Each structure stands twice: as C-alpha cells, then as structure tokens.
Amino acid sequence: MNPETQEKSNSMSARFQLVSAQIDAACEECQRPQNSVKLLAVSKTKPATDIAELYQYGQRAFGENYVQEGIEKINELAALTDLEWHFIGPLQSNKTKDVAEHFTWMQSLDREKIARRLNDQRPLSLPPLQVLIQVNIDDEESKSGVALANIAALAQTVEDLPRLTLRGLMAIPAANATAEQQAQSYSTLYDAFLELQQSHPTVDTLSLGMSNDLEAAVRHGSTMVRIGTALFGAREK
C-alpha cells in the first residue's frame, strides 16, 4: 500500500473500532447485553472500495438511500455474497422493483401501495424482504413516515403479504430537538415498538440512532443504529 492508502485505511479501521466500542459502552451503561444492538453502516455517497474495506473488518450490513447508487455498489460487490443490503431512503413506486430484487431489508416503508408492489415484485428465488415501517415520530409535515396512529394498519397489511416479513420500526428524529424533546420522542417510539411486538411475533427490530445520537438511541431501546459519518467520514453533500 502507498502511504496515502495506508493512512486512509488506518483511519477507517480506527473509526470502525471506535464506533463498535461506543455501541458496547452504551449497552453496558444501560445494562443491555453486548450484541443487542446491530451496526448498520450507512454508505450513501461513499465508494464500493470503502464498503469492501469495512467488510474486511467484519462489517456485513450496509445501508443505502438512493436506489440507483445502491444497485451499482451491490453489483460491484457481488462477489461478497454475505453482504446484507438495507434500503433506508424515500422510495417512489416506480422504483420498488429494484429494491425488491436487490435488497435484503427495506427500512423506509410508509404506505400500503409500496408494500403491495414490493410483495408482488419480490423474486421467489429470494427469501421474503425484511421490512421496517418508518414512523414520523416528530410529526413533521415535510418528512416521510407514518403517524403513530397509522402503524397498526400498515403492520397488518405487511403481515398479510407473504413475500414480506415485518421486523419492526424505523425513525429519523428531528435534528434540532432539545435533549428533553428527543427523549420524549424516543420513549413514545419505544412504546409503539413494544405494542407492535405484542401483536406481531416477527417484530424484533427498532432502527433508531445515527452518528450524533447513538448513545441516546441505545438508552431508549434501539436494536439497530444507522451510522454514516462516524464510520466513513463526512459526506460532501
């Protein structure tokens, strides 16, 4: 390796170790078992070579926000057969087929029409698509996700579709909330998650927490944190 590659490589490995240690420490702090929080590496805007490097350190689950960009990397890295790809961005109905054919998880489901299309388009050669319902936890008009009151109906739709498996909830809390507002949103979401689990036995995943709120999310019951910046460095856009 030339010195530049070597340096980048060292820092990626250092960041991976740091994030992993942060997750372990957050679990320990609130007396949750080690490995009760899964790390999703959010690789949007980052090259396939960065993903391949994290793969070397043992990371398997990666999240992408844009269909086309995601599929390009999935194809580029097809030789790594145990990669697990999560779609986490807004999805238009004319792109559902791409997600159904290429991804393992769909975390941003927010309407019935998308659920039905994903179910119909999921190839029979693949296991069912693992689905999270995105919740608009802070009720912001501009953001995607269902209102708390509408989780149950969409969950029932997913449960009734054989090519989808309902795994839980995902949320992107408001970035500008105070610590107190944030804690309130997290608790409300966690309650909704527990309630959903009561009626749907396949539900085991609460996808909550990004680079800036990893610890708080783990304290509030997150089982999957979605980390971009803290792993890959800052994004250009």
Ligand X SMILES: *Cc1c(COP(=O)(O)O)cnc(C)c1O
User: Distance (Å, rounded) from C-alpha 228 to C-alpha 16?
Assistant: 11
Residues numbered 153 to 172 that lie near ligand X (CB under 6 A) are 172
146 binds ligand X (CB under 6 A): no
Question: Is 226 a binder of ligand X (CB under 6 A)?
Answer: yes
Of the candidate spans 11-19, 112-120, 185-193, 222-230, the one that interacts with ligand X by CB under 6 A turns out to be 222-230
Check residue 70 for interaction with ligand X (CB under 6 A).
no
Three-state secondary-structure class, residue 135: strand
Contact between residue 149 and residue 156 where contact means Cβ atoms under 8 Å apart: no
Q: Is 15 in the site for ligand X (CB under 6 A)?
A: no
Quote the least distance from Cβ 170 to ligand X, whole Å. Answer: 7
Binding piece for ligand X, criterion CB under 6 A, among 90-98, 120-128, 176-184, 227-235: 227-235
- Segment near ligand X (CB under 6 A); pick from 8-16, 70-78, 122-130, 205-213: 205-213
DSSP track, 15-71: HHHHHHHHHHHHHHHTTPPTTSSEEEEE-TTS-HHHHHHHHHTT--EEEES-HHHHH
CB 69 within 8 A of CB 44: yes
Nearest Cα residue to 39 out of 55, 53, 28: 55
Q: Which is nearer to ligand X, 15 or 44 (CB)?
A: 44
Q: Which of 13, 65, 104, 197 binds ligand X (CB under 6 A)?
A: 65
| Binding-site ranges for ligand X (CB under 6 A) | 42, 44, 65, 88, 172, 210-212, 226-230
